Amino acid sequence: MKRFSPDRFFNQTQKKMLPCAIKQISIENYQGIIKTHIADLPVDTQWIFLTGENGFGKTMVLQAIAISLFGNQDQYSILTDSDCQTWVEFKNQGRNQINILGSPHFKPFTHLVAYGSSRLEIQNQQARNEISAKSTTTYGLFHTDGILLNIEYELFIGYLKKNAQYEIIKNTLLKLLPLMADIQVNDQDEVVYLEKEHEKSDKTYQGLPFEKLAAGHKNIIAMIGDMLIRFYAAQPEVIEPQDFCGIVLIDELDLHLHPKWQRQLPKWLSTVFPKVQFIASTHSVIPFLGAPNNSVFLKVSRSQAQGITINRINIDISNLLPNTLLTSPLFDLEGKDIKQDNNQSLTDVRTEETYDEIKLNDEIRASLKAFEASRDDFPDDLFEIEPKK
């Protein structure tokens, strides 16, 4: 029998812990939040998802988390003029830290990156390599006209200098863009993107500049590019993205993305940034299908008496399909809400798990109906009982 080793258990636990992760947060008097508190968040969870109906305060919660970690001022911008009171306990590069807003001992968490729902615009040619007032760490989370830092400038400089970072940035973006074959700098010194005909195809379309790409591609390139720039600036000693540590806040994770990409994005980001914690809001059930096993689910609710509140939903989603998730406490849809409005009879609702099963069943029914309408008889040997051996 193997003896229990406390040192070995401690080392294994340490390996699972993220270097930067929120443990608990308390928020009072911020926007519609009167008072709410979430504790005992595991420091080994890479994903914290926020759900809740429109207008219930998911964005407000993300903003309050940003203020608690980063402080009430981002360069020359004051993030809130309300008399809010927040405090957060979190891991900061392995060490425990508590930030109390307004305290003289408050230390801004510099490995924070935050994104609002508008993230399709990057800095233009003239603003490259500048951090404008609309490109600060938290601006996009608090305003709808945020501008993300221009990763194309970094790609262009890396291409000219032939440095290793050029290949690292390009390969990182390609890992998160399954339909992108390559990223190149053309003869006009313009960064262009070569899309595949389909994911497994070797055929590519003509290279396009960023502004002509579809919104889904622009969303990922702009956000991940901005993330890389900020992490490299805050952690200049790091070379590979897998070694970055930090906390990333994303409002409306599913925005502009096809369900295939919504499902894959949590896994892709976890693979590229394994030491980063992501806290993301979503209206879609699809990202949960790709959520890591130890993900945390927080539900944001709102009432006149209590204001905006956060509650943890303890649910094992590993074996749940979308309809089950939609009718769970995560989304609160009723059974009647997950069928088509034009459905006339519940007996006609298709309960197959995949569309391929629906097509197969339809083919079988059509064959049986055709046989029934024909004058053919069943084969004589169809119902013969095989003799016992």
Distances (CA, A) of 132 to 128, 136, 139, 257: 10, 7, 10, 28
Q: How far apart are CA 351 and CA 136, in angstroms?
A: 49
CB atoms within 10 A of CB 367: 10
Amino acid letter, residue 229 = I
Torsion sign over Cα 68, 69, 71, 74: negative
Reduced to 3 states (helix: H, G, I; strand: E, B; else coil), residue 312 is strand
β partners of residue 37: 26
Q: Which of 292, 220, 291, 277 lies closest to 245 in space, CA to CA? A: 277
Cα separations (Å) of 228 from 149, 161, 215, 233, 241?
Answer: 10, 18, 20, 8, 7
DSSP string, 157-216: HHHHHT-HHHHHHHHHHHHT-TTEEEEEE-TTS-EEEEEBSSTT-S-BPPPB-GGGS-HH
CA 38 from chain center: how many Å? Answer: 21
SS3 368: helix
Which tens digit of pLDDT belongs to each residue from 18-69? 999 999 999 999 999 999 999 999 999 999 999 999 999 999 999 999 999 9
User: Strand 276-281 and strand 47-51: pairing?
Assistant: parallel
Q: Which helix (DSSP H) or strand (DSSP E) does residue 122 occupy? A: none
Calculate helix-pair angle for 164-175, 151-161, nearest 10 degrees: 140
pLDDT tens figures, 193-249: 999 988 788 888 899 999 999 999 999 999 999 999 999 999 999 999 999 999 999
Please, are residues 136 and 74 in contact by the beta-carbon 8 Å criterion? yes
- 81-94 pLDDT, tens digit per residue, is 778 999 999 999 98
Q: What is the average per-residue pLDDT within 162-185?
A: 92
Q: Does position 310 have pLDDT exceeding 90, yes or no?
A: yes
* Through-space distance between the first and last CA atoms of the chain, rounded to whole angstroms: 51
Secondary structure E strands in the chain: 20-30, 33-38, 47-51, 73-74, 77-78, 85-92, 95-100, 112-115, 180-185, 191-195, 246-250, 276-281, 296-303, 307-312
pLDDT band of 75, cuts 50, 70, 90: confident
Confidence of residue 125 (pLDDT cuts 50, 70, 90): low
- Distance in angstroms (rounded) separating the CA atoms of residues 23 and 90: 5
The sign of the torsion formed by the CA atoms of 245, 13, 65, 286 equals positive
Q: Shortest CA distance to 26 belongs to which of 15, 16, 39?
A: 39
Q: What is the mean pLDDT of the chain?
A: 87
Query: How many CB atoms sit inside 10 A of residue 350's CB?
Result: 13
What tokens appear for 73 in the block?
Answer: 């001022």
Domains and CATH numbers, the chain: 15-111+245-334 (3.40.50.300), 146-239 (no CATH)
User: In whole angstroms, how far apart are CA 78 and each of 72, 130, 172?
Assistant: 6, 20, 34
Between 343 and 169, the higher pLDDT residue: 169
Q: What is the pLDDT of residue 129?
A: 46
What's the average model confidence in pLDDT over 105-116?
A: 95
Mean pLDDT of 353-375: 79
What is the arithmetic mean of pLDDT over 169-177?
94
Residue type, position 354, single letter: T
- The answer to whether the CB of 113 falls within 8 A of the CB of 136 is no
Length of the chain: 389
- Identity (one letter) of the amino acid at 71? G
How far is it, in rounded angstroms, from Cα 53 to Cα 128?
37
